[in-house]
A and B are shown apart, each in its own frame.
Chain A
Amino acid sequence: MSIYKDAKYQDVPYEEKQKLFQEVKDDMRWDSVMYGCYECGICVAACPSARFYDFSPRVFAQVMGREDIDTFYELLNDSVWDCSQCFSCTRCPRQNNPGAIITIMREVAVNHGLSSAKKALQAYSRIIYKIMSTGTQVAPDMLQPDFFPDWGPDVKNVSENLDVWRRAIPPETMHTTELAWDVSEKTRLELYMIWKLTGNLEMIENIDEGIFMILEEVMEELLEEHGYDIDDFENVLED
């Protein structure tokens, strides 16, 4: 039961919230990202997101330090996605790392398929597909005016001349339109193995089932071509 009368998510069972809280604390990095907080506010002072959103890294550090499970759950579902992960908050004199606390919280949110996480990553899932399946995050063919209308007329020019302009770049590895650079098949294979061995593919299932299914197919295909069975790769992070 929250001490605050107007707390949100009161219908979610306390044990559920506590489980997620404990998962954050159980992360390997916890002891080096959270010490104590004396509320000096340096983190907020340096934070770009604090100037734009109703977001405060100080609140995150305080809530985690106080072990306020209910407010933790609120943050996990609301402002955790506002953080710009710049790590300016690592100016903290106590050596807390609110940015890293948030990275861990987001991982927990993703692992549990929270609807707030799904919503935050909704428009973003095609990027996840790109990075996981090809090994580069951005591809030149993503520079389309309908996806980046606010970036300016250069986007339109690029998309109209994409094929020629990509061939008009001297480095040999960059003569690509579907990838940022030409990633070798061997490397892609190794990347897929890493995703399987770390349970990364399964994480995607929690966020976007459609993307997950396509990814799994693509990965399975390449692995089979090289004589591997996708099910042979157990998650080495679980013990």
Chain B
Amino acid sequence: MSVTTAPPPKASMREFIRKGKPPTEDYRELLFELEAKGELEVQRVPEPYVKVETKYGRKKKIPLEQTWHHKSCGQCGHIPGYSTAIFWLNRKLGYEYHDPRDQTSCTAWNYYASSTSNSGAQAAVAVRNFAQAKLDGFFPMIHCGTSYGHYKEVREEILHHPKLRDQVRKIMDRLKMPFVFPEEIVHYSEWVHVVRKEIAEKQVLDFSGITATVHPACHYHKLVVEDAIYDRELYDGQRTAIVTALVEALDAKAADYSTWHDCCGFGFRHILVSRDFSRSFATVRKIERMKEEADPDVTLTHDTGCVTTLDKSQFSTQAHGRNVGIPVMSDAQFAALAMGAHPYKVCQLHWHGVDMKPLMEKMGIDHEKAWQEFEEVASRLKDNGTEFMTWEDADA
């Protein structure tokens, strides 16, 4: 009658199969309902798109091209290789995109730092950007994790508060722009995720000796959990697969560490004016743990704030004898390097804090030659006061 009193099966023998309905409402249904009532316009994800599985098993559409690149303040401001790498990947894979001047910041960095704004302003800023994208004929692709998380928050507020919708409508009327909301809020790292095999096909560097630790952004997978990509093959579908899937596709090793779930310590306001918190937290809880437990060659993340915090926290703490010194970059820069992108002309690694040279050597990149090539272009630009580096220069 009784079966066996053996010890429990090992984790590798346990398989998670999600049963039952998702515990959340489907925001797409609510969006379409509002559209049917004439309250707003839903911008559909254009074809071609790829469907990926998200946390509760629902499928999310990720467009491959015709994307409106919603840029990030921090990336464009002080990590320019991050944005450049994203554009470069699109260009190399042959996907058409638009890089708008008619774009404002999502302003969420400021909102989370200082609360010198309100739901109405934040929603209006979001909808204005979305309306502009639709008018330009492209589908928004969000570069920053903060923007992505914030726009998910805005979506929830718009879906559940008719008063807010009225306010936004009044504002859009004054701006003479339509009230548009995209069917999906898509983060660029989700695009990288769905094209990772194409990236791997064009890979020219050997990453098999590279160990990377992954840091998932809080605003990607914690703030409104529904949208994040999960994969049964990775972490048994229990942790988000984003970035880790890319690392594996590029044949590098994704090493785990005990503070994987922890925030990086960005703090929005703290990183600018209370940096003791950010750098202490990033050093003690993230970098030192990664070094002790995984000793990675690089740590990868997919958000502006995370790259900033993890990268910029290591210099001063090194002076205090802490165990730091892991290069930090985004998944886009990592993928671009794999495909042979120039480390300085495209990935702009000279804007990063932690020394990248040992990593580049391990990747097989002649960084001295590369820096010479960059300096050549730079000196040309110095002499001719109006010239810029072109995409052709970057690939030469």
Chains A and B in contact, CB within 8 Å: yes
The 8 A CB mask of A155-178 against B (1 = contact, 0 = none) is 001100100111111111111000
* A139 to B, closest residue via Cβ: B77
Instruction: Tell me if B60 is interfacial: C-beta within 8 Å of chain A.
Output: no
Q: A98 to nearest B CB, angstroms?
A: 13
Q: A120 to nearest B CB, angstroms?
A: 8
| B77 in contact with A138 (CB, 8 Å) | yes
| A103 in contact with B116 (CB, 8 Å) | no
Contacts of A180 in B (CB 8 A): 71-77, 105
Contacts of B263 in A (CB 8 A): 48, 84, 86, 88
Residue from A52, A127, A165, A171 in contact with B272 in the complex, judged by beta carbons closer than 8 Å: A127
Contacts of A135 in B (CB 8 A): 104-105
| A151 in contact with B374 (CB, 8 Å) | no
Instruction: Tell me if A223 is interfacial: C-beta within 8 Å of chain B.
Output: no
| B170 in contact with A236 (CB, 8 Å) | yes
Number of A-B contacts (CB under 8 A): 261
Bound CA span A44–B269, Å: 20
Contacts of B261 in A (CB 8 A): 46, 88
Q: A25 to nearest B CB, angstroms?
A: 15
* A177 to B, closest residue via Cβ: B77
The interface size bin for chain A is 35 or more
| B149 in contact with A233 (CB, 8 Å) | no
The 8 A CB mask of B318-346 against A (1 = contact, 0 = none) is 00000000000000000000000000011
Instruction: Tell me if A152 is interfacial: C-beta within 8 Å of chain B.
Output: yes
The 8 A CB mask of B56-94 against A (1 = contact, 0 = none) is 000000000000000111111110100110011000000
Q: A50 to nearest B CB, angstroms?
A: 11
Residue from B120, B270, B314 in contact with A237 in the complex, judged by beta carbons closer than 8 Å: B120
Which of B170, B279, B281, B351 gathers most chain A CB within 10 Å? B351
Bound CA span A110–B110, Å: 13
Which residues on B are within 8 Å of A, measured CB to CB?
A: 71-78, 80, 83-84, 87-88, 99-105, 107, 109-121, 124-125, 128, 132, 149, 156-157, 160-161, 163-164, 167, 170-171, 174-175, 177, 218-219, 222-223, 225, 261-263, 265-270, 272-273, 275, 277, 279-281, 285, 312, 314-316, 345-346, 348, 350-353, 374, 377-378, 381-382, 387-391, 393-394
A52-B280, A165-B350, A170-B88 given. 11 additional CB < 8 A pairs?
Answer: A32-B156, A87-B149, A106-B114, A106-B115, A124-B114, A131-B110, A150-B275, A170-B345, A170-B389, A187-B104, A198-B171
What are 22 A-to-B residue pairs whose CB atoms are below 8 Å? A48-B265, A49-B277, A84-B265, A86-B219, A87-B149, A90-B223, A90-B225, A110-B115, A135-B104, A136-B104, A138-B78, A150-B312, A154-B352, A165-B350, A166-B80, A171-B83, A173-B101, A175-B388, A180-B72, A194-B121, A194-B124, A236-B120
